[in-house]
Amino acid sequence: MKMDSRFSFEVLCQSEDGARRGKLKTPHGTIETPAFIFCGTKGTVKGLCAEQLRSCGTQFVLANTYHLHLRPGEDTVAALGGLHAMMDWHGPLLTDSGGFQIFSLGQGSVAQEIKSHRTFNGPRTLIAIEEDGALFRSYVDGSLRKLTPETAMAIQKKLGADIVLPLDECTPYRVDKSYTAASMARSHRWEMRSLDEFQRLNDGFQALYGIIQGGIYGDLRGESCEFVGAHNFFGQAIGGSLGGSSTEMEDVVSMVCEKKERTKPTHLLGIGSIPHIFHGVRNGIDSFDCVHPTRLARHGGALLTNFKSDGRGHINLRNCRFARDNSPIDSDCDCHSCKSASRGYIHHLLKSGETLGGQLLCMHNVRFMNALMERIRDAIGRGGTASVEELYLA
Amino acid sequence: MKMDSRFSFEVLCQSEDGARRGKLKTPHGTIETPAFIFCGTKGTVKGLCAEQLRSCGTQFVLANTYHLHLRPGEDTVAALGGLHAMMDWHGPLLTDSGGFQIFSLGQGSVAQEIKSHRTFNGPRTLIAIEEDGALFRSYVDGSLRKLTPETAMAIQKKLGADIVLPLDECTPYRVDKSYTAASMARSHRWEMRSLDEFQRLNDGFQALYGIIQGGIYGDLRGESCEFVGAHNFFGQAIGGSLGGSSTEMEDVVSMVCEKKERTKPTHLLGIGSIPHIFHGVRNGIDSFDCVHPTRLARHGGALLTNFKSDGRGHINLRNCRFARDNSPIDSDCDCHSCKSASRGYIHHLLKSGETLGGQLLCMHNVRFMNALMERIRDAIGRGGTASVEELYLA
């Protein structure tokens, strides 16, 4: 890929534990890495307006091509000025290719596998995976849709995010090595077609990441790292199945990070628990995304350090023990929620079905993640992330 | 009532059309009247935090004793520092007595009568009206509760609003004159007991309004005006049935306003459509409350002047014709929603079930009502409200 001056990635320093601090420049601003990317699935981070996201120190937001393609449609987003203008989010944006949702919503997710739901009872919206692309049904109106590497690029061009991803098959965990190898090879062919189409459409305002596949198999992951490293992708994302347990996931991430090309910004797709972030950072991951902070908020959960939450990493404010708790979610947090609302008030709002409860929690969880990443970046400059990990995971 | 220096009401000027501009001082700030009071039913104005309310120019918020008594309970609110601290709303607050909800939720509302639902199919939570007070069932846990004039005062004392109301029976429209007269007489006895209890508990941080009853009957309304005027209530609220149609309602309001005591601040309970606000203001009403702006927002409605909305007073952004409308809700509005979101984006959020859609609309509708009242106050100083009415209702 021609390195356009609107995009650049620079590693500023690396600590002994392997973590690196960097600057990722996009047309909508420069992201300090390692960074957390918040999920604005359907064009909004659940319950928060862009101003609130900014006030929480948010750098980077992700939106889902699959959802936005089905509703309101990329032409409508374009008519509303593109994703940045539509969402009033004028900072860096990333869109995925739609692949993850087609496969995870269409045939059951990796999480469902891990939780031993052997049979997937959701509507099977995935119709067929062909060489050309993926056939699926719209969950909005039941219509038949086809996403190809080329249409995924065209849709993302209309959405207008800064960083875009190629169509890939998100390989499930339950498949065997030969399926994973064949799927990876097809994803590579799709990525090459995506790169061609991207370059044909590119006007310098978007950058394309390659996706590293290969499931849990070291040789396949190595092959995929080589593939993505050898081609003109601006950055790289680690996708596909990372295994069936937390330990296996960390092993796969370590393995991939050893083999990955080192000058490209590297994103770890869909991972965002605190221990995994520390592990990823030490392996040279530059960005993370996960619905966890915002989804947890919708279910009443407030992120806290293990120390403050008796080791669980969060507290659930729906619990009756918080009914008369007049303290803030976290007395050390500087977010608007912690400055203005007590745990007892949020408990009341959640119990009463008032949306403000989830909003206040969402704001706190977003600020919590941003503060975590700020501390991690700071610590990298000062030698290593161990002191921060102790603060969060003690 | 002993006029405590923490409370005062002053009429600054009166225009020829009967409208008056005033200042209502409370321990939590001075309200410029005529003012609109927003419903924070369960301790929150649906979807907005206090900071957002303030940014929309909100002066005054109301919360419901009935709902807060049932959940989280007045002792919990007190443990959380009282309503002001709990809600982070440090401006003036009013609580009703719980009477309206006991009667309207317990036996069907006036609105249901008007809409010709002759039979009320909701759960009959009202068990009995006795001389001592009202017996009803909690909708939260089914427990039997009794609210008396005295307990209503004690609960409101714990909630801690600036202005409080006595327990009354909200007389339905369908009852005859003799029931209305008997109900009014009982409400007057309850109001006297409320006043005694209020004075026993009072520490100068709350003021009590009397409630004018009498249904649609001129002689009864006159009697009730005299009753409230003769006793030591700091202000007065117009309650009970105002009739079965818009015209009848305006006739009753005009009739009451002619007979009411003129130095007390006067609140019109539960009325808030734009034409009724203009009518009320010209009859010397100083404050209004209504769920309309916030309820409308939850259903996708944005308040606009009749001129901008083809005469309906609002537009519904769920309508498909707004899908690609890249203009703000109202290009003349200075609210955060109008500065940051297009109609098309809000349409998308509503269709996708994202709570941000309702929040953005709620913010606009709150700002719309506050701007309306600002213009009305301004016009009173300049001779009359006709020019503003033309702006809104043309």
Domains of chain B: 13-290 (3.20.20.105), 298-393 (no CATH)
- Residue B128 pLDDT exceeds 70: yes
- Residue B117 pLDDT exceeds 50: no
- pLDDT 10s digits, B276-301: 999 999 999 999 999 999 999 999 99
Q: Are the C-beta atoms of residues B190 and B122 closer than 8 Å to each other?
A: no
- pLDDT 10s digits, A293-339: 999 999 999 999 998 998 889 999 999 999 999 999 999 999 999 99
- Residue A203 pLDDT exceeds 50: yes
Q: Tell me, what amino acid is at B267?
A: H
pLDDT of residue A123: 66
Q: Provide, rounded to the nearest whole percent, the portion of chain A with pLDDT above 90.
A: 86
Compute the distance between CA of residue B196 and CA of residue B199 in angstroms, rounded to an integer. Answer: 5
In the three-class reduction of DSSP (H, G, I as helix; E, B as strand; rest coil), residue B38 is classed as strand
- pLDDT 10s digits, B198-237: 999 999 999 999 999 999 999 999 999 999 999 999 999 9
pLDDT of residue A46: 92
pLDDT of residue B221: 98
In the three-class reduction of DSSP (H, G, I as helix; E, B as strand; rest coil), residue B289 is classed as strand
With CA atoms as reference, report the closest residue to B222 among B238, B209, B205.
B238
Greater confidence (A81 vs A310) lies with A81
Rounded to 5 degrees, φ, ψ at B139 are -80, -10
Instruction: Provide DSSP, A98-143.
Output: SHHHHHHHHH--HHHHHTT--S--S---EEEE-SS-EEEE-TTT--
Say whether A49 and B345 touch across the interface (CB within 8 A): no
- pLDDT 10s digits, A45-60: 999 999 999 999 999 9
Residue B331 contacts A, CB cutoff 8 Å = no
Q: Tell me, what amino acid is at A33?
A: T
How many contacts does A have with B, using Cβ atoms within 8 A? 121
Q: Are the C-beta atoms of residues B274 and B372 closer than 8 Å to each other?
A: yes
Rounded to 5 degrees, φ, ψ at A61 are -130, 145
Catalytic residues of B: 96, 289
Residue B242 contacts A, CB cutoff 8 Å = no
Q: Provide, rounded to the nearest whole percent, the portion of chain B with pLDDT above 70.
A: 95
pLDDT of residue B123: 66
- Residue A394 pLDDT exceeds 90: no
Q: Which of A80, A81, A352 sits opposite B42 (nearest CB)?
A: A352
pLDDT of residue B72: 98
Greater confidence (B3 vs A57) lies with A57
- pLDDT 10s digits, A101-121: 888 777 655 455 444 444 556
- pLDDT 10s digits, A17-34: 999 999 999 999 999 999
- pLDDT 10s digits, B150-170: 999 999 999 999 999 999 998
Q: Which of A80, A345, A360 sits opposite B86 (nearest CB)?
A: A345
